[in-house]
Structure 1
Amino acid sequence: MSNKPGHKARKRFGQNFLHDQGVIERIVRAINPKPDDALVEIGPGLGALTEEMLAVNGRLQVVELDRDLIPVLRTKFFNYPEFRIHEADALKFDFGQLVEDGRRIRIIGNLPYNISTPLIFHLLAHSGVVEDMHFMLQKEVVQRLAAVPGDNNYGRLGIMAQYFCKVQPLFEVGPGAFKPAPKVDSAIVRMVPHETLPHPAKDFKLLQSVVRTAFSARRKTLRKGLAGMVTVEQLNRVGIDDGLRPENLGLADYVAIADLLADVPAETGSMLIQPGTDEVSND
């Protein structure tokens, strides 16, 4: 689908409309939608992916912030009476309200680059009602989501995403698949919430605080980066070398630190963050 005359992509919304039919079909095959799925699309734009999804599932719901696109979508898909549009900011939207009859939702979307990181944190907070998520993201963000200890892209985003989900990069998409063409490469990622958390923390907010503090000083050793929060003795007590750097520790290590602190009264309140309020960062 090409960019529709009369609607110019808005930079403040981070809009880059997908138009390459081959890429669209490949995405749909990866998602493999079924007629009875509870499908939710974030940022449908001009409806290129929406059109393919509706052909399979006429009960698709979408969340769109740009009010100028709402009439475009209503007109284009008027013949789908169960198609629902939620005019809302996905960063503030309660995805839990879309659950019906106990069926978990499947979320898809070409996420705007300028809000992708905080939006993913917001969606992770809803992971309990999500079956899976398929997103088009900046390639670097996908690399960060899937990174493992020791990788240059390993950091807070990947750790927190993998706490909740299995992360699977699928394939890359070049700038030419969009109008206007972005200045970066994109990639498709699949995120599937764990049925049972592999490393559940006693206090999730405390885990967030430990990870955030560690990676705010990622070039320092844990001894220095976590000073004032965790002592060398405490690190050694859970079998962690205080001379390591944050990127050397896995999710289980960070949970072990957080669980130790959860059993020890500490002044950590000022450092806690909520899943939906995380700021964009390169950690």
Structure 2
Amino acid sequence: MERVNTKELVKKYDFKFTKSLGQNFLIDHRVLDDIVEGSEVSKEDFVIEIGPGVGTLTKELLTKAKKVCAVELDSELIPILENELGEFENFKLIHKDALKVDFNEIIGDEKNVKVVANLPYYVTTPIIARILNQNYNFKSLTIMIQKEVAERIDAEPNCKEYGSLSVLVQYYCDTKIVRTVSPTSFVPQPKVDSIIIRLDKLDKPRVETKDKDLFFKIVRQSFNMRRKTLRNAIKSMKIMDAETMEKAFENANIDSKRRGETLSLQEFANLANAVYDLTVNS
């Protein structure tokens, strides 16, 4: 199979990059191979690709997967993708914003669903949060994203990278960094390094929570006020009086003078469950 030459296609169709869409197309085939290999896509898999660009990664996936459904927002890319990939019977193209598309509609009855994408930087966190929070039926996400975001996703407690995104992803998934990618692997070149990271969905969330929404509210508040103690962060939520709050910390066996960035997922769950028992379930 002849591989897609991204630069030649951009020139062939006189494609103009749209800065607001964060378009950085992959030109390094070694990186391409690492994405495909890292995703472990096979003929049993239904792949959703977000932001296919001119189809560089898409073509590789089409030879490996049962079916590839590409979601592209830029109307200028639709005819290019149709012309270049239309011959593949296992290719489906959806012209839509991935932040608005109904993934359940795309997935249907498919069992082995994998998301593989070179995500535009500006939608990275919203896309990940949407896919995880909506509880879509997928096995893994193998995505190329900004290095800083990948490091936040993979971070452990007690470091500046650790935050609400770390907790969100690790609540639902195992994380594995595949490799770092330099700006020279793209056209146009971004100003920062990228990372390919794979998120494997767990059979059930990593920790047990009595109220998932309350758990994530406490997590977000703790990191929104990360320089304050947990006592002050939780106090600002105004969901219980001072005495009840201290009782919640005591029951969770957590010092209220600690900061949110020091808590593990299990400790956040313990705290949220203690708050639930003393407020919602009292």
Normalising by structure 2, we get a TM-score of: 0.90
Corresponding residue of 1:218: 226
CA distance in 2, matches of 1:51, 1:198: 35
Partner residue of 2:205 out of 197, 206, 209: 197
Work out the CA distance in 2 between the residues paired with 1:234 and 1:36: 47
Match for residue 184 of structure 1? 192
Residue deviations 1:213-244, cap 9 Å, x none? Answer: 11111011112121134622311221001111
Q: 2:254 aligns with which of 240, 255, 268?
A: 240
1:17 to 2:31 alignment: no
User: Aligned-pair distance for 1:32?
Assistant: 2.3
2:6 corresponding residue in structure 1: 2
Identify the match of residue 171 of structure 1 among 179, 202, 219: 179
Structure 1 residue 112 corresponds to structure 2 residue 120: yes
Of 34, 49, 52, which aligns to 1:41? 49
For this pair of structures, how many residues does the alignment match? 266
Specify the alignment match of 2:67 in structure 1.
59
* Contact residue 44 and residue 112 of structure 2 kept, 8 A: no
Contact 1:43 1:110 in 2 (8 A): yes
Unaligned runs of at least 5 residues, structure 1:
267-283
Q: CA deviation at 1:57?
A: 2.8
Other structure's SS at 1:170 match: strand
Deviation at 1:173, TM superposition (A): 0.1
Q: Determine the structure 2 residue equivalent to 1:260.
A: 274
Relative contact order, CA 8 A, sep 6+: which one is greater? 1
Per-residue CA shift, 1:161-180, capped at 9, x if unaligned?
11111111111000000000
Regions of 4+ moved over 6 Å = none
Distance in 1, Cα, partners of 2:148 & 2:207: 26
CA distance in 2, matches of 1:207, 1:81: 44
Identical amino acids, percent of aligned pairs:
34
Given that 1:95 and 1:126 are in contact with CA atoms closer than 8 Å, whether structure 2 keeps it comes out as no
1:130 partner SS: coil
The offset of 1:68, in angstroms, is 1.0
- The CA deviation at 1:49 is 0.5
After TM superposition, give the deviation of residue 58 of structure 1 in Å: 5.8
Could you tell me how far 1:102 is from its partner in structure 2? 4.4
Unaligned runs of 5+ in 2: none
Pair 93,139 (structure 1): closer, same or farther in 2 beyond 3 Å: same
* Conserved? CA contact 1:9–1:17, under 8 Å: no
Q: Deviations over 1:55-106 (max 9, x none)?
A: 2236211111111111100000121123101111111222122224441410
Residue type of the partner of 2:269? Answer: V
Q: Is the 8 A contact 1:127 1:193 kept in 2?
A: no
Q: How does 1:63-102 map to 2 (within 5 A)?
A: 63-102=71-110
- Aligned residue for 2:139, secondary structure, equals strand
